């Protein structure tokens, strides 16, 4: 151990490459032998490999040529890379319109959900009024109502209101899961902003709105991002409500998830796993990027409030 501390510049790169004995600068807890740690590490990598394999296989499939795809024995590396699968997807007349629909839906649900939810969260966090705890509990309960269970009456009600087949109906339906989540999560953010802060701003000459935009909003921003990202993912991935409310309308508009789900239902496409996987990957890409980008926020968002997935 003394040897490592005399070389704080880091491990040498080239010479020790072949069989490196574990030399940890880190202080080990009692009873953690390097050999045992090696075994656990191997096990962990095994877990990572098993978990990653479906994703690897999905990506690999998108690049395989038709010849590779129909081969008797699947290959673990394509004999040559082909982008035909992606071309098939972009040639599909429904792909881009459905992506656009999903984008509108998701943006609508997120923006409306944030606005409506933020207002309610401010009310709950900053005011003492009759029915406050009732409202908070309701928010929690509402999140737990299985959307699947009210899908039938939701369809019936939207059908009557003439909102089936329109994106607006779906956006409204999505508010059911975005608003309670936003309220519940933002509430704790706003509660933590002391009222003295905006008082101080106003004493210093801010107007009410000035205090709101300069003090409360910036301090709530991390919460808004967390809830926004989480609502985005929820709305983007949602299938059953969109499918019920839009497809039943009959004008053939779809969201990406609906498009993807029914893409493989014709026999020719059903056998073409290359383009199916390409479609799946393309449709999930916005979510994956968002997830990787806001990794910390997403996990914080999940634990901050009660969420259904």
Partner 1 sequence: MSVTTNETVNRSEKSGPAPAGKPQRRGFFAAGQYIPYALLLPAIVVLVGVLAYPLFRLFDLAFQNVNRYAYLVNPSLSKYIGFEGFSKILGDHQFWEVVLRSIYFTAELVILSMVLSMLIALLLNRVSNWARVTVITVMMFVWAIPALVNGQVFRWLFSPNGGVVDYLAFLVTGDESWKHYDWFADPNVGLYVVGASVIIWGALPFLVLGLYAALTQVPAELTEAARLDGANAFQVFRHVTIPVIRPFLMISAALSFIWDFQVFAQIFSLRNTSPEPGYWTIGTYLYMNGIVRSRYSESSVISIVMILMMLAVLVFYIRQMLKIGANER
Calpha distance 25→28 (Å, rounded): 9
Nearer to partner 1, 165 or 180 (CB): 180
Q: Rule CB under 8 A: is residue 45 a binding residue for partner 1?
A: yes
3-class DSSP assignment, residue 253: coil
Q: Rule CB under 8 A: is residue 217 a binding residue for partner 1?
A: no
Q: Which one of 71, 96, 107, 221 is in contact with partner 1 (CB under 8 A)? A: 71
Contact 78, 68 (CB under 8 A): yes
Nearer to partner 1, 103 or 287 (CB): 287
Q: Rule CB under 8 A: is residue 148 a binding residue for partner 1?
A: yes
Q: Rule CB under 8 A: is residue 288 a binding residue for partner 1?
A: yes
Residue ranges with strand state E in 199-284 = none
Task: Give me the numbers of helices (H) and strands (E) for the chain, helices first please.
Answer: 16, 0
Residues that bind partner 1 (rule: CB under 8 A) add up to a total of 117
Q: Rule CB under 8 A: is residue 167 a binding residue for partner 1?
A: no
Q: CB neighbours (10 Å) of residue 73?
A: 5
> Measured from the CB of residue 81, what is the shortest distance to partner 1 in angstroms?
18
Residue 220, burial from CB neighbour count under 10 angstroms (0-12, 13-18, 19+): buried
Q: Restricting to residues 9-28, which ones interact with partner 1 according to CB under 8 A?
A: 24, 26
Q: Which one of 77, 196, 251, 268 is in contact with partner 1 (CB under 8 A)? A: 196
Q: Which one of 77, 81, 127, 134 is in contact with partner 1 (CB under 8 A)? A: 127
Calpha distance 191→128 (Å, rounded): 12
Q: Rule CB under 8 A: is residue 240 a binding residue for partner 1?
A: yes
Q: Rule CB under 8 A: is residue 90 a binding residue for partner 1?
A: no
Q: Rule CB under 8 A: is residue 96 a binding residue for partner 1?
A: no
Q: Rule CB under 8 A: is residue 302 a binding residue for partner 1?
A: yes
Residues 6+ apart with CB under 8 A from 167: 101, 104, 105, 108, 246, 253
């Amino acid at each position: 151990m003394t040897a490592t501390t005399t070389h704080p510049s880091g491990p040498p790169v080239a010479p020790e490459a072949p069989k490196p004995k574990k030399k940890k600068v880190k202080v080990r807890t009692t009873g953690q032998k390097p050999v045992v740690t090696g075994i656990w590490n191997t096990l962990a990598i095994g877990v990572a490999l098993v978990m990653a394999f479906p994703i690897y296989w999905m990506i690999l499939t998108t690049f395989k040529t038709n010849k590779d795809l129909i081969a008797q024995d699947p290959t673990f590396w394509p004999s040559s890379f082909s982008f035909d699968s992606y071309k098939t997807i972009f040639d599909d007349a429904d792909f881009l319109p459905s992506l656009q629909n999903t984008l509108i839906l998701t943006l609508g649900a997120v923006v409306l959900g944030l606005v409506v939810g933020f207002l309610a969260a401010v009310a709950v966090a900053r005011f003492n009024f009759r029915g406050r705890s009732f409202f908070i509990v309701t928010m929690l309960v509402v999140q737990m109502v299985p959307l699947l269970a009210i899908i039938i009456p939701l369809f019936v009600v939207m059908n009557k209101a003439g909102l089936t087949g329109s994106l607006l109906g779906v956006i409204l339906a999505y508010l059911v899961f975005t608003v309670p989540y936003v309220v519940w999560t933002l509430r704790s953010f706003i509660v933590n902003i002391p009222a003295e802060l905006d008082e101080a701003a106003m004493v210093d000459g801010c107007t009410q709105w000035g205090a709101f935009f300069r003090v409360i909003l910036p301090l709530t921003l991390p919460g808004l991002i967390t809830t926004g990202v989480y609502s985005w993912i929820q709305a983007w991935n949602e299938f059953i409500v969109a499918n019920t409310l839009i497809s039943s309308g009959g004008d053939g508009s779809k969201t990406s998830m609906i498009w993807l789900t029914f893409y493989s239902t014709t026999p020719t496409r059903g056998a073409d796993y290359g383009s199916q996987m390409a479609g799946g990957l393309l449709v999930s890409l916005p979510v994956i990027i968002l997830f990787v980008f806001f990794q910390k926020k997403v996990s914080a968002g999940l634990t901050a409030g009660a969420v259904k997935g």
